[in-house]
Amino acid sequence: MTRAPLSPIEQELYHFLLDFLSEHTFQPSVREIAKQLKIPSTKSVTDLLGALEKKGYVEREAARSRGVKIIGFAGGAGTIPVPVMRNRAARGGAQHR
């Protein structure tokens, strides 16, 4: 299943969710996300989480402050997410090994 690409701010949020989960074993609150990403409105954070959910990156549980589940992430404490490297040669770029 191919998911829609993320905007730069959505990518920043997604990576923050991965990093926070790896370090703490639970998800950040909306206020913690707002503080980290320097977003003044918790409504904006909620909208960003909704965009990630719509694109298939997370699932959310209604009425839970930390109710975000990252789809496809099964790592436990001490797990470090790594970026996915794509084959740039297929897009006309140089391929690195």
| CATH number, position 19 | 1.10.10.10
**pLDDT for 7-58, tens place per residue?**
999 999 999 999 998 888 889 999 999 999 999 999 999 999 999 999 999 9
User: Taking Cα atoms as reference points, which of 1, 25, 33, 29 lies closest to residue 74?
Assistant: 25
Query: In the structure encoding, which two tokens stand for residue 17, read together?
Result: 């969710």
**pLDDT for 72-96, tens place per residue?**
876 655 555 555 555 555 555 554 4
Give residues with Cβ within 8 angstroms of 53, minimum separation 6.
59, 60
Classify residue 41: in a domain, yes or no: yes
Type of residue numbered 56:
G
Three-class DSSP category at 97: coil
Helices 30-37 + 42-54 axis angle, to 10: 100
Rounded-to-5 percentages of helix, strand, coil across the chain: 45, 5, 50
Classify residue 91: in a domain, yes or no: no
More confident residue, 1 or 43: 43
DSSP 8-state class, residue 56: T
What pTM was estimated for this model as a whole? Answer: 0.71
Number of structural domains found in the chain: 1
Determine the structural domain holding residue 56 and report its residue range. 8-84
Classify residue 3: in a domain, yes or no: no
- pLDDT of 93 reads 54
